[in-house]
Structure 1
Amino acid sequence: MRKKNLFNVIFVSLICGLLSGVFSSAAFSFSFFGHRGKSNAKTEGNVLSQSAESKPLTLEEAYRLTLVQSEDIAIKREELNKAQGRLYQALNEVIPEVSFLMTESIQDAPKEAVAGSSSLTGNLLRRATPQKKFTLHQPIFSGFKEVAGIQGSNAEKAQKLYERIRLEQTLLTDVVSVFYAVISSEKDIKILEETRQTIEDRIKELEARVVIGRSRESEVQTALSDKMKVEAQLILSRRDVVLARQQLEYFIGRPVEGPLAEPEGANPKVKEPDDYLDRLDSRPDVKAAHEAYLLAEQGVVAAQSGLFPRAYLDGNYYTQRVGTQSGIDWDVLLSVNVPVFNGTETIGTVKAAAAEREIAKYNFFKTKRMGRLEISAAYEEYRSAILEDAALGEAARAKKKDYELQTADYQSNLVSNLDVLTALKDTQDLNRQANAAHTAAKINYWRLKAAVGEVRIKETK
């Protein structure tokens, strides 16, 4: 009895130990896949937030996160996998099919009939006929349909790959536009805040001059009015920052709370138009359209295969046979199917495939013409943007100098307060215009790169 109780105790202890190990491993797996304890998650979150705040978000990192987050890129990736699956299906048409087949035929056969019959009749009247064999089916010729299928699948795979690359390039231009929109709006806020501070200092000076009778109260009110105009512009600029950051968060899939790292360097010099137009054929969308045409062309070949004879080879290797055929180990069957007449189905299929080929050809021509137009437009946009950026930069510096001179002249009573405020307003406007032109030049540079089809992620640094 004691031995039995001892056995039960040991058995229960083993079960509890096993269950404990299972639950502990499950808890480990649960923690491994992201469901950690509150303290660990909180600590890690603090570390991540601190690193995110201390390290500004770069354009390269924003683009990498966008590629990971984008559902469109994921869809294109699955379309590429789908094309790869079709390629495997096409390869299967030329690969022999081998299988192992086991059968056993059972029929109602009287024993008396089997016993009194000849060997041939007895074989037909067997009650059970087991059979085991390897079967081989090998297509020999089907009007080049297999070759067309393989080449067409390769073309489709290349088409989907180029479409994904083109989508990545156009997606970069969207990220660049939003990224620089945040930077530009924040610079705009800085310009307006400096203008507001200057006006506030101006108001204090005017109030002091009113006390001693050197300025009028109306001048103070004019400055106050200009200050409130700047306040209204600040509200709109802060709104623009919030909206731009929200759009950037949509692209990268995480909050954008810290600063952005603006890429350094001057605007690259523009080349001759032909230097960009000569790269038209290397654009991924042009290559994708060409691969789509090749795919449609192979579709015509596959449709024309219905006009050709088809040949197949079928073979069997028997591992078990009974009766009179027990000594025959293998057999081979060659089949040739020559189409004679099947109505207008094949002709209709060929004409439909030929029409699809022509549609793909015209779409290829259209894609090239649109690409040429996009490159020309992007070239002119960037060329004009860098000229405007340089001109407005010079104008802003000159206007700042003019404002400083106007302020000095006001102290000598050579100009009025209105002249000083006008110079200040013009300085603010030119600074904002120069900021917008600088941002446009940066964005149009990437649009030109995308139009040419030469965007690489390392260039975003």
Structure 2
Amino acid sequence: MWKRPLQVISLLSLMVSSADALTLEETLQSAFQKNETVAQSRQQVVQVEEQISQAKGLVYPSLSLEGSHLIQPKPSDPVAAQFFPERQTTVNFALVQPLFRGGREFAAIRQRNNLLEAQKQAQTQNLIKVYVDVSSAYLDVLAAEQDLKNLNEQREIYADRVKKLQTRSRRGESSATEVLTAQSTAAALDAEAQLVQSRLTSARENLAVLSGVPVDAPLVDKQGETTDIKLRPLEDYLARIEESPEVKSVKEQLEASDEEVSIAKGGHWPTADLLGNYYLERPDGFTKDLKWDIQFKVSIPLFEGGLRSAQVREAVSKKSVADLELARLRRSKEAEMRSLYQNVRLRADQLSALKKSAELAEKNYKTVLRDSHYGLSRNIDVQMALTDYRSIRRTYDQTRFQARLDLIKLESSALYLPAVVTKEM
């Protein structure tokens, strides 16, 4: 009578649990919103944008309101007193327009623009790192849950096996040693399950720290147990080295170093400024009726102790370092992609072999277990078959999740990213 309502309630509970489970995409969205590293990189972009505004401000004119009040002893000479009154009050608007700085001002703006692009690429690097780290933590949780599930299934099998052996022992069909051996293996499985549970707890805590999701939030594996790894040709990955944020960032830093050379060389050039004043109040005397003045000012550097030449040599050296770093990074990225590609390809082959091995091991275990009911196989044969199946199955599951992580690392290294990541760029 109550069986069907209970089945309905159980089904509804399962549907609610599945609906509340977090996918990898949802976990990544939480990480991008709550991760401090991502927020810091965004603020660093804002800082460089403001530095560009500051550099542009050096090109624009500056206007200020100035005022002064001077008190001095009255000159004894009546003529001098006309030029230098005892009290002098001056209030004026002062305008300064930079005209020429040896091109340094415009080189500084270009340099800041290069640094802005470099910082944006650094932000992309941080997003990719968070993507890989969160994916790794997410898959660690799924792997531990799968491992615990496998162990619990085997614990149930051994619990049933112990009961049957105890029954057979009471009938004199099995020895006490067989019962004790099965009980020992069951106890070992219990201990192993506790270790895996501890690993699962640590994995969940790590995921919570990285993404901000609740530590007990259920996760769903949308990919399931599929082992299909879609690997592009190696040439496709290598062709995208120049598009990687690391290489782009160093390229922009190289351009910024080139502009720094221009800034340093600009120090050898003269500077020119246009200065103007409009007086609201002037001291009594001959200048009282002069309401404004304009001044053209030129400064030619003649000797500064070798300062400018040293700055030029330093800037040229920095440019050489950036050039060498770009060459090193290109080689490093190529080696990294080749290594990741080889890992993923080998994982795919390993998965195919492990899947077949796990299927055969399961079939062998079930066959040996069935034969043991008819006295055709010994208890030790059952234990060995189950141990082999357990070991191969766990290796297969761990390799399955590791292969997915290796593929994520390879794809992200070549900037093949899911939409949840690209929309944050």
TM-score (normalised: structure 1) = 0.82
Which of 311, 318, 321 pairs up with 1:356?
318
How big is the shift at 1:238? Answer: 0.7
In structure 1, stretches of 5+ residues that fail to align are: 1-50
Structure 1 counterpart of 2:345, which letter? R
Matching residue's letter, 1:298 = E
1:84 aligns to 2:45 (yes or no): no
Per the alignment, in what secondary structure is the counterpart of residue 209 of structure 2? helix
Distance in 2, Cα, partners of 1:123 & 1:190:
102
Per the alignment, residue 252 of structure 1 pairs with 211
Give the ranges of 4+ consecutive aligned residues of structure 1 lying more than 4 Å apart after TM superposition. Answer: 51-54
Q: In the TM superposition, what is the alpha-carbon distance from 1:152 to its structure 2 partner?
A: 0.7
Match of 2:341 among 360, 379, 389: 379
User: Match for 2:197: what amino acid?
Assistant: R
Q: Are 1:285 and 2:246 counterparts?
A: yes
The yes-or-no answer on 1:415 pairing with 2:374 is no
The answer for the alignment partner of 1:302 in structure 2 is: 263
Q: Equivalents in 1 of 2:306, 2:320: separation in Å? A: 21
Over aligned residues, Cα RMSD in angstroms? 2.3
The equivalent residue for 1:134 is 93
What's the counterpart of residue 224 of structure 1? 183
Counterparts of 2:24 and 2:399 in 1: how far apart (Å)? Answer: 19
Identical aligned pairs, as a percentage? 27
User: 1:457 offset after TM fit, Å?
Assistant: 4.9
Alignment of 1:404-443 (within 5 A): 404-443=366-405
Aligned residue identity for 1:280:
I
Per-residue CA deviations over 1:29-87 (Å, capped at 9, x if unaligned) read xxxxxxxxxxxxxxxxxxxxxx9997122222322332333333333233323222321
Q: Map residues 95-174 of structure 1 onto 2, 5 A cutoff.
A: 95-109=60-74, 117=78, 121-174=80-133
2:12 corresponds to: none
Give, as a single letter, the amino acid of the residue that structure 2 aligns with 1:212: R
Contact (CA 8 Å) 1:410, 1:416: kept in 2 or not?
Answer: yes
CA pair 80-247 structure 1, distance change in 2 beyond 3 A = same
Question: In the alignment, which residue of structure 1 is the partner of 2:59?
Answer: 94
> d(CA) in 1 for partners of 2:85 and 2:172?
132
**Structure 1 counterpart of 2:37, which letter?**
D
How many residue pairs get matched? 404
For the residues of structure 2 that align with 1:225 and 1:122, how far apart are their CA atoms? 114
Residue in structure 1 matched with residue 9 of structure 2 by the alignment: none
Aligned equivalents of 1:254, 1:270: Cα separation in 2: 31
| CA deviation profile, 1:357-376 (whole Å, cap 9, x unmatched) | 11111112222222212211
Quote the Cα distance in structure 1 between the aligned partners of 2:240 and 2:336.
12
Q: Which stretch of structure 1 is more off in the superposition, 353-362 or 206-215? A: 206-215
Q: What do residues 98-149 of structure 1 show as CA deviations (whole Å, max 9, x unaligned)?
A: 1122333333337xx69xx46xx45314333333322111111111100110
| Residues 1:62 and 2:27 are matched in the alignment | yes
Please state how far the C-alpha of 1:184 moved relative to its aligned partner.
0.8
- For residues 386-405 of structure 1, the aligned pairs below 5 Å read 386-405=348-367
Q: Which moved more, 1:194-203 or 1:128-137?
A: 128-137
- The amino acid that maps onto 2:255 is L
- Name the structure 2 match of 1:45: none
Amino acid at match of 2:258: E
CA separation in 2, counterparts of 1:370 and 1:85? 33
CA contact (8 A) 1:107 1:128 kept: yes
| Structure 2 residue identity aligned to 1:263 | K
Secondary structure of 1:137's counterpart equals strand
Cα 1:298–1:132 change in 2 (3 A) is same
Match of 1:370 among 332, 339, 347: 332
Higher mean alpha-carbon deviation, 445-454 vs 186-195, is at 445-454
TM-score by length of 2: 0.88
CA distance in 2, matches of 1:263, 1:163: 31
Deviation string 1:187-223 (CA, Å, 9 cap, x unpaired) is: 1111111111111111222222223332222221221
**CA separation in 2, counterparts of 1:437 and 1:389?**
7
**SS of residue in 1 equivalent to 2:94:** strand
Distance 2:153 2:18 in 1: 25
In 2: Cα distance, 1:144 partner to 1:294 partner:
16
Residue range with higher mean Cα deviation, 432-441 or 340-349: 340-349
Separation in 2, partners of 1:103, 1:123: 19
State the secondary structure of the residue aligned to 2:21.
coil
2:90 match: secondary structure: strand
Distance 2:292 2:84 in 1: 23
- Determine helix, strand or coil for the equivalent of 1:311: strand
Does 1:319 find its partner at 2:280?
yes
CA distance in 2, matches of 1:63, 1:52: 20
- C-alpha distance in structure 2 between counterparts of 1:81 and 1:123, whole Å: 56
Alpha-carbon distance, 1:400 to partner:
1.3
Question: How far did residue 341 of structure 1 move?
Answer: 2.1
Q: Name stretches of at least 5 consecutive residues in structure 2 with no aligned partner.
A: 1-15
Task: Using the TM superposition, give the Cα deviation of residue 268 of structure 1 relative to its aligned residue in structure 2, in angstroms.
Answer: 4.0
C-alpha distance in structure 2 between counterparts of 1:413 and 1:53, whole Å: 44
Q: What amino acid does structure 1 have at the position aligned with 2:193? A: L
Larger Rg: 1
Which whole-Å CA distance do the structure 1 matches of 2:62 and 2:93 have between them? 10
> What corresponds to 1:182 in structure 2?
141
Secondary structure of 2:286's counterpart equals helix
Give the partner amino acid of 2:291: D
TM-aligned CA deviation for residue 263 of structure 1: 2.9
Q: Structure 1, residues 381-425: CA drift from partner, whole Å, max 9, x if none? A: 222222222321222122212222222222333222221221111
Q: CA deviation at 1:312?
A: 1.3
Residue aligning to 1:46: none
Contact 1:378 1:451 in 2 (8 A): no
Call closer, same or farther: CA 1:108–1:245 in 2, change over 3 Å. same
* Secondary structure, aligned partner of 1:325: coil
CA distance in 1, matches of 2:94, 2:165: 104
- Deviation of residue 242 (structure 1)? 0.9
